[in-house]
Structure 1
Amino acid sequence: MADSGCARVSAREAISAVAGSFTEHRPAARPAPADGPLGWSGYGESRARASARTGEEESVVYGTAAVGGRECVLVSFEFGFLGGSLGSRTGDRLEAAYTLAAERRLPLVSLVATGGSRMQEGMIALVQLQRVARASTSLRAAGLAQIAVLRDPTTGGGWATVGAGADVVLALPGAQIGFAGSRVRPADADPYAYTAEGQLAAGQIDAVVAPEELPVTLGRWLAALTVTGPVQAAPVPEALSAAELPATGWDAVEQARAADRPRAEAYLDSYFDHRLPLAGDRCGGRDPGLLCGVGTHAGRAVAYAAQCGTATRPAGYRTAARVIRLADRLGLPVLTLIDTPGAANDAEAERAGAGAAIADVFAAVAGARVPVTTLVIGEGGSGGALALASPDNTHVTADSYFSVIAPEPAAAILKRGPDEVRSTADQLRLRPQDLVELGVARSVVGPARAQDT
């Protein structure tokens, strides 16, 4: 399925590369003028040539398939048919595919390769994007997942609907991706911005996947996002350090800031059998200090958002909110790991909407119908940490703290000198055992499980 860097593969070759079986479906045929709705001279001949060249009647093929042993509705674009463009009959097929997925209660996987809307059908072609958006929204409301694989190229309205509108967006290496196609973008535009790798760096897609890895990756995503049975809270992770409960507030701060303390990556690796990343806020940003995705724990899928000990950026909060809402819609439990000195507060973060991004995570957690489990594994600094915390199922490790703000800025706010930072830490009652006593946390995990309430 390596469209990029070599001859493009056909829609059916793309299907064969990922599906163990495929049963094609076709919408009911409807009459149409030979030269289309605009009477575009020569359009009928162009369609006939495209059909003879590709063996297809339209630029999209769809049906039911088994991918990685998981049933889904599969859509594949035929770029050889008028550049994989979207016309009215393409809209018929795409709408029928979304409807089929809703009727069969199946996730939808799209293998996208398109140049956008079909010029020969003018506005009739363009309004197909509204049809696709409406069908996609209905499928989302039904609680069914949508996965897009971006082949080369994926541009125009196909990118802005089927591609970018999916819950999980994967791309092949080197694929050209962008709303502006190569013939209409500015002459001085940075070409990297229109590549799979550039879109990943900009937080617009979730992963670049090598062709040989795509069948397994899709199978894992389908397994993770196909939920059966009632949702149960994610179990609390075990503590990874043998730290003892701190004697003082400042001891708690020092333990949480220790360089050798286990971090989010270690907790996630210990907790999950494998993980599938969801990266980026879909607004042009990524925060490497907040890891998000879906993983498998004891055979069950769990969505996660984990802070890595750095000041969390607005893009990180927006990504976390996106993942929590996806989990809520699909019925996945959520695990959050808290470890941050606080939200990033530099000028760039403020310009990027730090307050609104933090508010969005608070709203996502508050509105979640699925259970959210939280473990504080290090620093819990102010609202930037609390935004990710479950209101009723938060736990702490012995080498963590949680505070209205870190002791140093707390002392500054209270107009205290540096020599009073340690005593301020005690007054804040930020130790793990204090948090349990105050009712902020339900338990201290690890050596201090006797603190359970």
Structure 2
Amino acid sequence: MADSRPDGRLTSHEAIALVAEVFEEHRPPPRTSAPDGPLGWSGYDAARARAAERTGAEESVRYGTAVVGGHRCVLLVFEFGFLGGSLGQRAGDRLEAAYELAGRTGVPLVSLVATGGSRMQEGMLALGQLQRVARAAAVLRAARVPHLTVLRDPATGGGWATVGAGADVVLALAGAQVGFAGSRVRPPEADPSAYTAEGQWAAGQVDEVVAPGRLRGTLARWLGALHRDSAGPPEPAPVPKRLSAAEPPVSGWDAVRAARDPARPRAEAYLARYFTHRLPLSGDRCGGVDPGISCGVGVRADGRAVAYAAQCGTATTPAGYRTAARVIRLADRLALPLLTLIDTPGAANGAEAERAGAGPAIAEVFAAIAEARVPVTTLVIGEGGSGGALALAAPGRTWVTRDCYFSVIAPELAAAILKRPPEQAPATADQLRLRPQDLVELGVARGIV
């Protein structure tokens, strides 16, 4: 085994040992090339030979079959000590072979990324490897095989923009440098915190930042959650049991007040009761995170995995809707049943939300629900404010709690639009027929839990 790097970064051998109990390396057929590579870059062959001797690796990328936390997978590992983990034609061969192996065997692909980008000594031929990776990733997605990536230090350039950011689940080691621009090419005035695992998580580009000691366990939970015993369609997620002892409201205004009661159960309480453990999916991959929406994959006591998107009682932002749409589409592709919890006074409608694309983001969720081939189960647990709430609702598979309402618009706003005085809001609530029992009678909801 190669020695640890003097800068403290993990070697490929150490990265493999960190996560896998078993690793059987595969090697693609050797590629013949002209002396000093396709560009005839003087000294390139010698540099590769020194890198191989120093690291014990034949290239900047290694791959093979592995067992991680008791689960079979294909493991793809970068060796940063080999010319900075850079991508050239031979590395591209290995990347493509790893994706193909995962697709052929139907087991998840786990990538441990540590790269500085494309290899300058191979010029545009090296950069073109990114297109090979993108094509291989598209084929893997079409095969409905999950891809989990772990961003090590550093994860920059094209490797971050393809193998890293293109995965279904993106984890990052705490303190890792993560960014498209490496430290030697980014603007000198750039905020260094933007190029860290923690900064990328805050910006919605990473699902979770993980300490090295927790990595194997986290990957094992993900691999266990994404494993399916059957190739058939999944069973619908069960409707959550009620957590409130509230009685059905007498008036529409009673329903509104019950839904707005700060003491009633919220999404966190429902999710904690519903799952034994949860794996978060965070961020919209467009630079935004909405703390008012909770998304991920949870595992129930019977071992079943269910994807979830839950509003947490605040006005949902465009980033929240885009995150929900991402999770809905991921659940659909990986054949996971989906649970949505509705609790929002409505979509965020300030100027910032409009500039961030509130309308298109809501439309994206409506489309994701409409296109889903997996069963979607919805429970309205609090406020159901207009289209911002309806976007997450499953047509024909929506239930309600006793302490909720669901309305075309909030009664106060309805009264304002109708030019009624504010004191007419309670009467307007009755006219809107927004109580749980009204929703069942109207056919909007299948039942009250």
Does TM-score exceed 0.5, indicating one fold? Answer: yes
Secondary structure of 1:305's match? strand
* 2: CA distance, partners of 1:94 / 1:30: 14
* Code of the aligned partner of 2:360: A
* Code of the aligned partner of 2:70: G
* 2: CA distance, partners of 1:155 / 1:246: 56
Post-superposition CA distance 1:95-146 (Å, at most 9, x none): 0000101111111000000000000000000000000000011000000000
Q: Which residue of 2 aligns with 1:448?
A: none
Q: Which residue of 2 aligns with 1:24?
A: 25
Post-superposition CA distance 1:206-259 (Å, at most 9, x none): 000011110010001011112222300000000111000000000000000001
Post-superposition CA distance 1:1-23 (Å, at most 9, x none): xx999611211210111001011
Q: Which residue of 2 aligns with 1:168?
A: 169
1:285 deviates by 0.1
Moved over 6 A (4+): none
* Code of the aligned partner of 2:161: A
Contact 2:5 2:11 (C-alpha < 8 Å) held by counterparts: no
1:354 deviates by 0.3
Contact 1:396 1:441 (C-alpha < 8 Å) held by counterparts: yes
1:370 aligns with 2:374: yes
Contact 1:342 1:382 (C-alpha < 8 Å) held by counterparts: yes
1:270 is aligned, of 260, 273, 278, to 273
* 2: CA distance, partners of 1:370 / 1:233: 8
* 1: CA distance, partners of 2:271 / 2:160: 32
1:50 aligns with 2:54: no
* 1: CA distance, partners of 2:289 / 2:413: 27
Secondary structure of 1:66's match? strand
Post-superposition CA distance 1:237-282 (Å, at most 9, x none): 0011100000000000000000101000111001000000000000
* 1: CA distance, partners of 2:210 / 2:119: 29
* 1: CA distance, partners of 2:142 / 2:5: 34
1:77 deviates by 0.3
Contact 2:5 2:81 (C-alpha < 8 Å) held by counterparts: no
With the length of structure 2 as denominator, give the TM-score of the two structures. 0.98
Q: Superposition pairs for residues 89-100 of structure 1, below 5 Å?
A: 89-100=90-101
Distance 1:5 1:361, change over 3 A: farther
Q: Superposition pairs for residues 215-230 of structure 1, below 5 Å?
A: 215-229=216-230, 230=232
Contact 2:246 2:403 (C-alpha < 8 Å) held by counterparts: yes
Identity across the alignment (%):
74
Alignment length (residue pairs) = 443
* 2: CA distance, partners of 1:63 / 1:219: 17
Structure 1 segments unaligned to the other structure (5+ residues): 446-453
Contact 2:313 2:345 (C-alpha < 8 Å) held by counterparts: yes
For the aligned residues, what is the CA RMSD?
Answer: 1.1
The farther-off stretch of 120-129 and 7-16 is 7-16
With the length of structure 1 as denominator, give the TM-score of the two structures. 0.97
Structure 2 segments unaligned to the other structure (5+ residues): none
Contact 1:4 1:172 (C-alpha < 8 Å) held by counterparts: no
* Code of the aligned partner of 1:177: V
* 2: CA distance, partners of 1:195 / 1:302: 31
* 1: CA distance, partners of 2:199 / 2:35: 41
Q: Which residue of 2 aligns with 1:400?
A: 404
1:33 deviates by 1.6
1:34 deviates by 2.6
1:295 is aligned, of 258, 277, 298, to 298
* 2: CA distance, partners of 1:332 / 1:289: 23
Contact 1:397 1:432 (C-alpha < 8 Å) held by counterparts: yes
Post-superposition CA distance 1:179-212 (Å, at most 9, x none): 0000000000000000000000000010000111
Contact 1:148 1:166 (C-alpha < 8 Å) held by counterparts: yes
* 2: CA distance, partners of 1:4 / 1:172: 17
Q: Which residue of 2 aligns with 1:232?
A: 235
Contact 1:407 1:425 (C-alpha < 8 Å) held by counterparts: yes
Secondary structure of 2:25's match? strand
Post-superposition CA distance 1:144-188 (Å, at most 9, x none): 000000000000000000000000000001100000000000000
Q: Which residue of 1 aligns with 2:311?
A: 307
Q: Which residue of 2 aligns with 1:144?
A: 145
